[in-house]
Amino acid sequence: MKIETCKVGYLKTNCYIVTKNNQTIIIDPGAEPDKIIKHCEGKNVVGILVTHHHFDHIGALPELESRYQVKHNTPIKGFSYKTIQTPGHLDDSLSFYFPEENILFSGDFIFYHTIGRCDLPGSDYKKMQESIQKMIHYPKDMKIYPGHGKETNLKEELPYLKEYI
């Protein structure tokens, strides 16, 4: 599985372009649809995943759904992943875990050395704590691709995560 990052919008959202066996999914098309479409040129886009419905993660969603004729967060053939409910930053926050590759796309839930804000409308710190509890038993070498900033792994984040629970 190949993971490319296309940073979009003024909040530099990580839009991930994930390709496996000549099929591609787009995760969090936050802004700049033309830039994402250009990045996906020649690729067979079969699905779109969205971690949560904040504007900086869905800004380009309508254009991409119509361009590729797919609806976001509906089942995607050819990829095996688990959708994990990880509310806290927002009540609809999801994380996507790809067990074969041991990779988590965490949106604004887990960032490098920190977590997402819990002081926004729709945030809930208690739910954030429960979401963290869910994740700490995942494999320590699990790679984490967050919605902003650089990638990390669970082992690296555990000491930080445990401070919040």
Name the site residues for Zn ion (rule: CB under 5 A): 54, 108
Give me the least distance between CB of 152 and Zn ion, in Å please: 18
Q: What are the φ/ψ torsions at residue 34 (nearest 5 degrees)? A: -65, -40
Q: Which is nearer to Zn ion, 24 or 106 (CB)?
A: 106
What sections of the chain are H helices per DSSP? 33-39, 55-58, 61-68, 125-135, 154-162
- Distance between CA 33 and CA 61 in Å, rounded? 8
Q: Which is nearer to Zn ion, 13 or 24 (CB)?
A: 13
- Distance between CA 23 and CA 25 in Å, rounded? 7
Question: CA torsion sign, 87 to 92 to 98 to 103?
Answer: negative
Q: Which is nearer to Zn ion, 57 or 81 (CB)?
A: 57
CA distances from 62 to 24, 48, 80, 115, 147 (A): 18, 11, 25, 28, 19
Give me the least distance between CB of 54 and Zn ion, in Å please: 3
Q: Which is nearer to Zn ion, 46 or 58 (CB)?
A: 58
Q: What are the φ/ψ torsions at residue 17 (nearest 5 degrees)? A: -115, 110
Give me the least distance between CB of 108 and Zn ion, in Å please: 4
Give me the least distance between CB of 49 and Zn ion, in Å please: 15
DSSP 3-state of 151 = coil
Q: Which is nearer to Zn ion, 75 or 121 (CB)?
A: 121
Give me the least distance between CB of 20 and Zn ion, in Å please: 26
**Residue whose CB is nearest to Zn ion in the complex, by number:** 54
